[in-house]
Amino acid sequence: MSGDLRTVAYDVLVVGAGGAGLRAAIEASAAGVSVGVVSKSLLGKAHTVMAEGGIAAALANVDDRDSWRVHFADTMRGGGYVNHPRMAELHAKEAPARVHELEAWGALFDRTPDGRILQRNFGGHRYPRLAHVGDRTGLEMIRTLQDHGVHAGISLHMEHTITALFRDGARIAGALAYDRERGRFTLLEAKAIVLATGGIGRAFSITSNSWEYTGDGLALAYEAGADLLDMEFVQFHPTGMVWPLSVRGILVTEGVRGEGGVLRNSEGKRFMFDQIPELYANQTAPDAEEGWRYCQGDKAARRPPELLTRDHVARCIMREIRAGRGSPHGGVFLDIAWIRERMQDSEAHIKRKLPSMYHQFKELAGIDITKEPMEVGPTTHYMMGGVRVEPETQMSTVPGLFAAGESAAGLHGANRLGGNSLSDLLVFGKRAGEYAARFARQSTPSKCDRAEVEAAERRALAPFDGATANGEGPYALQHELQTAMQDQVGIVRREDEMRSALETIDQLRARAELVRVYGNREYNPGWHTALDLRHSLTVSEAITRAAIERRESRGAQFREDYAEKDPVLGKVNIVVRKGADGRMVVARDPVPPMSDEQRTIIEEMK
Ligand SMILES: Cc1cc2nc3c(=O)[nH]c(=O)nc-3n(C[C@H](O)[C@H](O)[C@H](O)COP(=O)(O)OP(=O)(O)OC[C@H]3O[C@@H](n4cnc5c(N)ncnc54)[C@H](O)[C@@H]3O)c2cc1C
């Protein structure tokens, strides 16, 4: 079986070449250990490249009232207070230094008139806080990290997919990869592994996420014995494209609303003024006039309700659609063109501030956003849940296994604020790299059990075996899973529907074990999908079980059958792990307590 198995050993193996993976690899390499990076796609194609709006960091360049304390309080409030407070504190404190570092490495941010990094408004952030490069911030970030990383002596395995992790006793020992082009296996042995594999959006049918987001890192960690946390909290971004159908789900950045874009229903009403949550009442503009002044940088003005947190805006949009006040293609209207009433050069301004959005709608929908409103609706966007990690080091509950970026959990709690992901990648990517290197330096080499490796190879090749496979292809199963998750574990949830989804997932898992692919191992997308599907099934089950367990509505989780917050559940995180019998176990763990200083900040900022 392992006749053609190549073996490579590193001190630190990083799985993922997005912002988190590259930042971790740079840090580990700087610590003097050998580093390998594996990525499903080509370098430069990771999901981070798609990020648009910006990186949240309390630089206070545009509003000097901003500070790490305000950023911390905003993040906790947005997360429904089930975030890990220490992670939120580290993130708020360290993000400015990470942005400056990125600038020193060559990132060219938009500028204030006096030459500092420009910051823009985004939902849930009290002050303009997002450092950005037009609406192409992710591209600049990944370009900068790549340029820096390739000079740091990191070994790259592009277009390689990890299908299994191995342990040596309790600690992590290595990973099995197949190369997508030729279908050959490589065993990557490592003293420490950093998972930076991003999110899970492809488990749903409407999503802003790329093909890579099949939840691999989460499923691999779960199978290796690590805890998953907050899996019920899947973010549905309020504004994805809804038309034409072929582009449904593609993101429309929150930056549109940050620049003054407003949401209207089919009656032309700005419906976001109808329902302002208690927690945000004293921070929200009472009328359109004050909201516009906020978008123009008036420090005395409060933000318009379109810039409330994503969970709330998404639910308000759903309310309008369900009440029959939606747009012709099942969304609502997002209008930035209206600013011509306030601005002479509005057309040039929109094209300068939102070049990708202008291009996206022009090319894909034949709409000129400087002249007409867009049609938008919620889209599966981001995973707040993921691998449970220790805040300072990012180590999971498996010694030597680390996680960072979207694949890790804790920072965002029940709902992520826009811009807090790119800063998360930098802050915790750096920490993961640093502590993984430290762990590796203090460890003796670990060994992967050859029998386990061979079993993993056999399992990966099973879909080619005509004798055991039942002839069903992987795409139909993937489609069925996406439909079940979208319809029954989506933006509005109910216990009976989620229980039905669990039954579907169970049946699909049995069928996925027998799935059949044709052709050979060389660049075979059917085979790749068959393997990715297993990961998506694991994360889908974890999401559904955790969502059933949280019988309340908080942040991104909206339960029609438990529409209110439950103070008891507000004190717990839901944990998912593999039980001794191989079945998924769901448990409740207390939310880590806040320090006295953190509590004081929250009280002061209310
Ligand atoms: C359209 C869009 C716009 C966004 N805009 C913003 C924004 O403005 N600000 C913000 O803060 N956030 C934004 N986000 C969210 C943010 O971009 C992501 O959360 C973030 O980029 C994730 O980075 P990451 O490093 O964790 O993962 P990624 O960048 O997704 O990288 C994951 C890596 O893991 C690799 N990988 C996955 N599975 C495997 C496997 N089995 N084997 C080997 N390699 C594997 C992939 O190939 C890839 O290299 C946006 C998201 C989208 C979709």
Q: Which of 35-44, 112-121, 144-153, 264-273 has the lowest mean pLDDT?
A: 144-153
What are the beta bridge partners of residue 120?
Answer: 130
Per-residue confidence band for 413, with pLDDT thresholds at 50, 70 and 90: very high
pLDDT of residue 468: 65
User: Is the predicted pLDDT of residue 1 greater than 60, yes or no?
Assistant: no
How far apart are the CA of 160 and the centre of ligand 1, in A? 16
Q: Which of 151-160, 229-238, 419-428, 586-595 has the lowest mean pLDDT?
A: 151-160
> Which atom belonging to ligand 1 lies closest to the Cα atom of 161?
42
How far apart are the CA of 390 and the centre of ligand 1, in A? 21
Measured in whole angstroms, how far is the alpha carbon of residue 139 from the centre of its chain?
A: 16
Residues 279-294 pLDDT 10s: 889 899 999 999 999 9
pLDDT of residue 425: 98
> Which atom belonging to ligand 1 lies closest to the Cα atom of 424?
11
Residues 327-379 pLDDT 10s: 999 999 999 999 999 999 999 999 999 999 999 999 999 999 999 999 999 99
Per-residue confidence band for 153, with pLDDT thresholds at 50, 70 and 90: confident
Using a 10 angstrom Cβ sphere, with 0-12 exposed, 13-18 middle and 19 or more buried, the burial of residue 140 is buried
Per-residue confidence band for 469, with pLDDT thresholds at 50, 70 and 90: low
- Of residues 600 and 299, the one with the higher pLDDT is 600
Question: What is the spatial distance between Cα 488 and Cα 285, in angstroms, rounded to a whole number?
Answer: 35
pLDDT of residue 230: 98
Query: Which three-class secondary structure state does DSSP give residue 326?
Result: coil
448-458: average pLDDT: 97
Q: How far is CA 370 from CA 311, 335, 336, 355, 578, in A?
A: 27, 9, 7, 11, 51
Query: Which three-class secondary structure state does DSSP give residue 92?
Result: helix
**Tally of CB atoms within 10 A around 514:** 14
Question: What is the spatial distance between Cα 418 and Cα 510, in angstroms, rounded to a whole number?
Answer: 38
> Which atom belonging to ligand 1 lies closest to the Cα atom of 255?
8
Q: Taking a C-beta distance cutoff of 8 angstroms, is the pair 571, 591 a contact? A: yes
Q: Taking a C-beta distance cutoff of 8 angstroms, is the pair 460, 531 a contact? A: yes
DSSP assignment letter at 118: P
How far apart are the CA of 55 and the centre of ligand 1, in A? 14
Through-space distance between the first and last CA atoms of the chain, rounded to whole angstroms:
62
Q: Taking a C-beta distance cutoff of 8 angstroms, is the pair 79, 310 a contact? A: no
Q: Taking a C-beta distance cutoff of 8 angstroms, is the pair 87, 410 a contact? A: yes
Question: What is the spatial distance between Cα 152 and Cα 150, in angstroms, rounded to a whole number?
Answer: 5
> Does a cis peptide bond (omega within 30 degrees of 0) precede residue 328?
no
228-245: average pLDDT: 95
180-192: average pLDDT: 97
User: Hey, CA dihedral for 106, 132, 66, 422, is it positive or negative?
Assistant: negative
> Which atom belonging to ligand 1 lies closest to the Cα atom of 220?
41
Residues 519-561 pLDDT 10s: 999 999 999 999 999 999 999 999 999 999 999 999 999 999 9
DSSP assignment letter at 602: H
**Tally of CB atoms within 10 A around 343:** 13
Q: Decide if 441 is catalytic.
A: no
pLDDT of residue 279: 84
> Which atom belonging to ligand 1 lies closest to the Cα atom of 137?
8
Atom 14, ligand 1: residue with shortest CA distance: 51
Q: Decide if 237 is catalytic.
A: yes
Q: How far is CA 400 from CA 250, 297, 335, 538, in A?
A: 36, 46, 49, 22
> Which atom belonging to ligand 1 lies closest to the Cα atom of 53?
8
Structure tokens given for 487: 């319809």
Q: Percentage of the chain surpassing pLDDT 70? A: 99
How far apart are the CA of 425 and the centre of ligand 1, in A? 9
Q: Taking a C-beta distance cutoff of 8 angstroms, is the pair 561, 550 a contact? A: no
User: Is the predicted pLDDT of residue 433 greater than 60, yes or no?
Assistant: yes
Question: What is the spatial distance between Cα 491 and Cα 123, in angstroms, rounded to a whole number?
Answer: 19
Residues 70-109 pLDDT 10s: 999 999 999 999 999 999 999 999 999 999 999 999 999 9
Mutate to test the pocket of ligand 1, among 157, 412, 422, 531 (most ligand atoms within 8 A of CB): 422
Q: Taking a C-beta distance cutoff of 8 angstroms, is the pair 121, 307 a contact? A: yes
pLDDT of residue 576: 98
Atom 9, ligand 1: residue with shortest CA distance: 419
Q: Taking a C-beta distance cutoff of 8 angstroms, is the pair 223, 456 a contact? A: no
How far apart are the CA of 406 and the centre of ligand 1, in A? 7
Structure tokens given for 405: 């970026």
User: Is the predicted pLDDT of residue 470 greater than 80, yes or no?
Assistant: no
Strands (E), 40-92: 55-56
pLDDT of residue 151: 84
Question: What is the spatial distance between Cα 157 and Cα 16, in angstroms, rounded to a whole number?
Answer: 10
**Which residues have any ligand 1 atom within 6 Å of their CB?**
15-21, 38-41, 46-48, 50-54, 137-138, 161-162, 196-198, 208-209, 212, 216-217, 251, 382, 405-407, 418-422, 425
Helix, strand, coil % in the chain, rounded to nearest 5:
40, 20, 40
Query: Which three-class secondary structure state does DSSP give residue 363?
Result: helix
**Tally of CB atoms within 10 A around 481:** 24
Question: What is the spatial distance between Cα 303 and Cα 342, in angstroms, rounded to a whole number?
Answer: 17
How far apart are the CA of 198 and the centre of ligand 1, in A? 5
Question: To 10 degrees, the CA torsion angle through 390, 391, 394, 395?
Answer: -10
At how many degrees (to 10) do helices 474-488 and 525-549 cross? Answer: 20
Structure tokens given for 208: 């802003």
Atom 47, ligand 1: residue with shortest CA distance: 40
Question: What is the spatial distance between Cα 56 and Cα 120, in angstroms, rounded to a whole number?
Answer: 9
From the candidates 23, 84, 120, 237, which is the catalytic residue? Answer: 237
Atom 13, ligand 1: residue with shortest CA distance: 51
Q: Percentage of the chain surpassing pLDDT 90? A: 91
How far apart are the CA of 46 and the centre of ligand 1, in A? 6
Q: Taking a C-beta distance cutoff of 8 angstroms, is the pair 298, 352 a contact? A: no
* Tokens 């190369």, located at residue: 179
Q: Taking a C-beta distance cutoff of 8 angstroms, is the pair 146, 79 a contact? A: no
Question: What is the spatial distance between Cα 243 and Cα 164, in angstroms, rounded to a whole number?
Answer: 38
- Of residues 446 and 550, the one with the higher pLDDT is 550
Structure tokens given for 244: 């034409």
pLDDT of residue 135: 83
From the candidates 23, 69, 202, 257, which is the catalytic residue? Answer: 257
pTM over 0.85: yes
475-486: average pLDDT: 96
**Amino acid letter for position 583:** R
What are the beta bridge partners of residue 251?
Answer: 240
How far apart are the CA of 16 and the centre of ligand 1, in A? 9
Question: What is the spatial distance between Cα 503 and Cα 528, in angstroms, rounded to a whole number?
Answer: 25
Per-residue confidence band for 122, with pLDDT thresholds at 50, 70 and 90: confident
User: Is the predicted pLDDT of residue 606 greater than 70, yes or no?
Assistant: yes
Atom 11, ligand 1: residue with shortest CA distance: 419
User: Is the predicted pLDDT of residue 303 greater than 60, yes or no?
Assistant: yes
Mutate to test the pocket of ligand 1, among 15, 197, 423 (most ligand atoms within 8 A of CB): 197
Residues 48-68 pLDDT 10s: 999 988 999 999 999 999 999
pLDDT of residue 160: 98
Q: How far is CA 482 from CA 116, 245, 539, 540, 543, in A?
A: 44, 16, 12, 9, 13
